[in-house]
A and B are shown apart, each in its own frame.
Chain A
């Protein structure tokens, strides 16, 4: 019984399987993004283009939107929403303003990451314009007012009467394009 061949074959298959599983680890990254988009898992919001010519049909529901702001780690910035609460009607675009200030004596680039709670609401929170779409450069001591233009989708589930939009600013060490 010469099983050298068999051993070679088994080994080759198992090595191939190992390599594939290593690739699968990396495949989990895009898979996770897709999964999050479908389920709203990580609370990320949806970016849309506002159609100004379209007739606006507004729902008569009134949704309470609360605004929250955080700074991550040692980023020497302050971030405050100019309005804590807004009452919005689904289907209509609104603007909210945040004030951000660099309290350091150096220019710093930051990136705001949005999160909507409850998670399920993030699937219905649509933004046409947001300071979180790009990196923000703040000169030493600079204060900036930043706008987010958003709409709550009319399909928002009935049991959601209020939601929170939260932003966290992170220091950008590696300036990379994100959206």
Chain B
């Protein structure tokens, strides 16, 4: 009944380096993704520390402006493509087959390839730090003509983006193929856990948007080296066209980062509120609406380039519209907690913080979406505060919640709850000290991507930097907690959390190397237990 794509089933684990290099096992590849993402989180984080050190005081202290701009650029690329996306894919790899009762991913070899492309792509990108002319410094958005002034690093940047795109697209194809073809018999689409749903929708976003980015950066490449003039005004092109192409990818991309986080908290909040998720169907439809709408709002990143007034209005209204399904989700999470028997273990703490802080980021996003006021906020620290609220206290907090929630399933041991809670409170306080003052800086007019600033911004920048260093150091505690948990501790039960629902809790902890080789029998009772 369950003869599946991959032929070389082993009953025993392969050992040594071979196990990891040639792995086709979804759990091993998931682990690789997660470790890689955590590593990149610290590489990108180190760059953030350099940025905050430079901004600690006005004037130029530690780095020259070119290097500062490289840090800003590479920090963004690493955090987006190296930390948040691979962490999401890692969770998908680990959990989706377990959640839908499948023995593995549909395309295990492609799975291996899509992971192993990543280290090479980032080797390309990071090698530019040591090149003549320095690493790319034109911003992660790669706007021409500025980005075309990048030195030897330019082709490395373009090919790194190509590889990252290919890797993500392969991951996305794999996830859709798995979910559409390998669900345990009896599980309909509308019975899937929400994490699976959000990943299916995210995968479609990836497949629809990343190829457009690949096309855009290829045009940059041919403009620089092969005499085309897509974005070269002298040759009849238009640099603004790149911005349209980029943000046609770029806006769906922000939901690629956010939707899996929505899925994660939709698993965790019901578990610790000990109540089924409120409004399951509306959650699915809201996620899908957000995804579809995300393709019609891209120009809200470009209000100041000189759009026709009708265009500005269209993109403003379309942007406001996204707040509706997002509001549905936020209210559903709150309704799930309403009158629940809540306990606040670390995953729940991170999830509740996510709901509150992501909503703050959403509101500042709405402010930015109002065309006339965006002319004031554009390219200021208000934007920086906004996207860090949705990405750091949003996406990363959810990823942390996921790590704590499923660590017992991965390692077979409970993590140190006391340390987890300390990590949460340190992260919560420091990230708000870090980013909340940046709202004020932006409203007062401090521009982003500049290493120096007017003296009037000094106090808030110092506060923000202190928060930044505190957040950076606090994350080392997370590494310690994970390692400690992997080494041992209190044995985790199959159902590691009292209120946790879903098929992943039906297999022992740690999850054996092979699971669900015969699909689980989904009786009505089992299906009910999924929610």
Residues in chain A within 8 A of chain B (CB atoms): 1-4, 6-7, 10-11, 14-15, 17-19, 21-26, 28-29, 32, 36, 39-43, 72, 110-111, 113, 119-120, 168, 170-174, 176, 178-179
Contacts and interface: CB of A to CB of B under 8 A. Distances in A.
Given A3-B182, A41-B307, A29 B230 contact: yes
Contacts of A25: 211-216, 245
A172 B236 CA distance: 11
Contacts of A174: 227, 229, 235
A178 B235 contact: yes
Given A1-B1, A28-B244, A176-B236, 12 more contacts: A10-B181, A14-B207, A23-B215, A25-B215, A25-B216, A28-B248, A111-B234, A172-B234, A174-B227, A174-B235, A176-B227, A178-B236
B324 interface: no
B214 A22 contact: yes
B240 A171 contact: no
Nearest to B241: A32
A87 to B, nearest CB: 26
Contacts of A21: 207-212
A28 B245 contact: yes
Given A22-B211, A39-B308, A41-B308, A14 B173 contact: yes
A18 to B, nearest CB: 5
Contacts, number: 114
B173 A11 contact: yes
Nearest to A3: B181
Given A7-B181, A25-B212, A41-B308, A171 B106 contact: no
A171 B234 contact: yes
A119 B305 CA distance: 12
Given A25-B214, A39-B308, A176-B229, A113 B248 contact: no
Interface in B335-393: none
Contacts of A26: 215, 219
A79 to B, nearest CB: 14
B176 interface: yes
Nearest to A32: B241
Query: B1, B172, B177, B213: which has the most chain A beta carbons within 10 Å?
Result: B177
A125 to B, nearest CB: 16
A144 to B, nearest CB: 18
B306 A119 contact: yes
B107 interface: yes
A18 B215 contact: no
Contacts of B181: 3, 6-7, 10
B215 A22 contact: yes
Nearest to B1: A1
A18 B203 CA distance: 11
B238 A1 contact: no
B177 to A, nearest CB: 5
25 contacts: A1-B1, A1-B2, A3-B181, A6-B180, A6-B181, A7-B106, A7-B181, A15-B173, A17-B208, A18-B169, A18-B173, A21-B208, A21-B211, A22-B215, A25-B245, A26-B215, A28-B241, A72-B234, A113-B233, A170-B234, A171-B234, A174-B227, A176-B236, A178-B235, A179-B236
B213 to A, nearest CB: 8
B251 to A, nearest CB: 14
Listed from nearest, the 3 A-B pairs whose CB atoms lie closest are A25-B215, A170-B234, A22-B211
B489 interface: no
Nearest to A9: B181
A134 B379 CA distance: 37
B450 interface: no
B131 to A, nearest CB: 23
B483 interface: no
Contacts of B180: 6, 10
B314 to A, nearest CB: 12
Contacts of A1: 1-2, 185
A32 B169 CA distance: 26
A72 B233 contact: yes
A173 to B, nearest CB: 8
A25 B213 CA distance: 7
B473 interface: no
Given A42-B240, A170-B234, A3 B308 contact: no
Interface in B231-282: 232-236, 238, 240-241, 244-245, 248
Contacts of B214: 22, 25
Interface in B463-494: none
Interface in B150-180: 169, 172-173, 176-177, 180
